Structure 1
Amino acid sequence: MLKIVIIEREPFTLLGIKTAIEQSPDIEVSASATCGEIGFKLVEETKPDVVVIDLLLPDMSGLELTRLIKNQTNSKVVILTNQTDEKIVNFAFSYGADSYLLKTTEIEVVYLAIKRAYFNESFLDPNLTIKEMVDIKSSITGNCKH
């Protein structure tokens, strides 16, 4: 069974994510936190396989927390956020994120991303990929009206 820690700033959102993930028979939520400092301590204590992190935390950037976790533990990191900016996505991967998901994704995709991260496979939210493709197409055509 995969052990995970969830770090999400909003308590109600954290509860929803935890409840949804716990429906998977092969994933166990071993701890959760609403800030980066406590979350990192829990990661050090529980040594999870995967850590699910929101980028907007009250005490530190989720990017910095990702770097800290990747530099000091063996845990994989899955970003779960509302941030769709391409630069932020690129920063997340450069800071060591293994996967990047939007909070609007289906729970089955979250399960898949967690499992793929555990097996050293990166995962990018399919909805984000579609949005990026539309953005790229828009920038090429210049949003011209014919």
Structure 2
Amino acid sequence: MIRLLIVDDHPVVRTGLAVMLSDEPGFEVVAEASDGEQAVRVAAATRPDVVLMDLRMPGVGGVEATARITAAGDAKVLILTTYETDDQILAAIEAGASGYLLKAAPQAEIVAGIRSVAAGQSALSPQVAVRLVERMRHPERESVLTARETEVLRLVAAGNSNKQVASSLGIGESTVKTHLLKVFEKLGVADRTRAVTLAMERGLLR
């Protein structure tokens, strides 16, 4: 019997997963948690085999909770989330996660992933596997931003819209969008907020 802990801040998601997985032979949902802090406590108390961990939750997030649970040896962690940016994938795996699946994955893929992780193997969704392979094949994509890309991102960080950035730099709004897409690709993110945050963390913006 594979004992499961489901961690997600959305009650409907937790309930849906619990119902779905309880119907699978050989699975037992022993507990649920609504945030990372609670997940760490519950994992220590119930010692599940596998923790299904969401990433973005209030308070302690999925990455930190994963690191604490795996460091304590309380369970193996399988990330189950809607997000798949490169930095999130790598952060979760570096924290000790044994797998990374998307919530949109077919039920059979999620079930197979749980069984693989419980057996000491890894489980990656096809989309995530492709992202990791591409990152290894093309490390140059992590290169430093160009001067213009940095300029665009600095204006975005100051709260300017694409239209305002275009006006400030004397370029078209579509050109601003193109620069931002290149920034997103280089930093492995999917939105402006994360691009600014990560660029600051890496010292690309001051």
User: Could you state the TM-score of these two structures normalised by the residue count of structure 1?
Assistant: 0.86
1:117 and 2:120 matched = no
* Structure 2 counterpart of 1:128: 128
Match of 1:48 in 2: 48
SS of the residue corresponding to residue 121 of structure 2 reads coil
Unaligned stretches of 5+ residues in structure 1: 140-146
Q: Which runs of 4+ in 1 moved over 2 A?
A: 127-137
Contact 2:43–2:74 under 8 Å retained in 1: no
Aligned Cα root-mean-square deviation (Å): 2.0
Are residues 1:106 and 2:102 paired? no
Tell me how far apart the structure 1 counterparts of residues 79 and 112 of structure 2 sit (CA, whole Å).
Answer: 13
SS at match of 1:64: helix
Count of matched residue pairs:
138
Cα separation, partners in 2 of 1:106 and 1:32, compared to 1, 3 Å: same
Q: Which amino acid aligns with 2:101?
A: L
- 1:22 is displaced (CA, Å) by 1.1
- Evaluate the alpha carbon distance shift between residue 127 and residue 20 of structure 1 in structure 2; reply closer, same or farther with a 3 A threshold: farther
Equivalent position amino acid for 2:24 in 1:
S
Per chain length, whose mean CA-contact separation is higher, i.e. which structure has more relative contact order (CA < 8 Å, sep 6+)?
A: 1
CA distance in 2, matches of 1:61, 1:122: 21
What is the CA distance between 1:74 and its match in structure 2?
Answer: 3.6
Which position in structure 1 is the counterpart of 2:8? 8
- 1:73-110 CA distance string (max 9 Å, x none): 24100000011102211111111000000010011111
Q: Displacement of 1:46 after TM fit?
A: 0.8
User: Are residues 131 and 31 of structure 1, via their aligned partners in 2, closer, same or farther at CA, if it must alter by over 3 Å?
Assistant: same
The 2-side partners of 1:101 and 1:55 are apart by: 11
Q: Structure 2: how far apart are the matches of 1:131 and 1:68?
A: 26
**Larger Rg computed on CA atoms:** 2
Answering whether residue 29 of structure 2 is matched by residue 29 of structure 1, we say yes
Amino acid at match of 2:41: K
Q: What is the letter of the counterpart of residue 34 of structure 1?
A: S
Name the structure with the higher helix share: 2
1:3-41 Cα distance to aligned partner (Å, 9 max, x none)? 010110111111111111112111100000111222221
Q: Deviations over 1:23-71 (max 9, x none)?
A: 2111100000111222221111111011110001111110000000001
TM-score, length-scaled by structure 2: 0.62
Q: CA 1:127 to 1:47, structure 2 compared with 1: closer, same or farther past 3 Å?
A: same
User: Larger strand proportion, structure 1 or 2?
Assistant: 1
Question: What does residue 86 of structure 1 align with?
Answer: 86
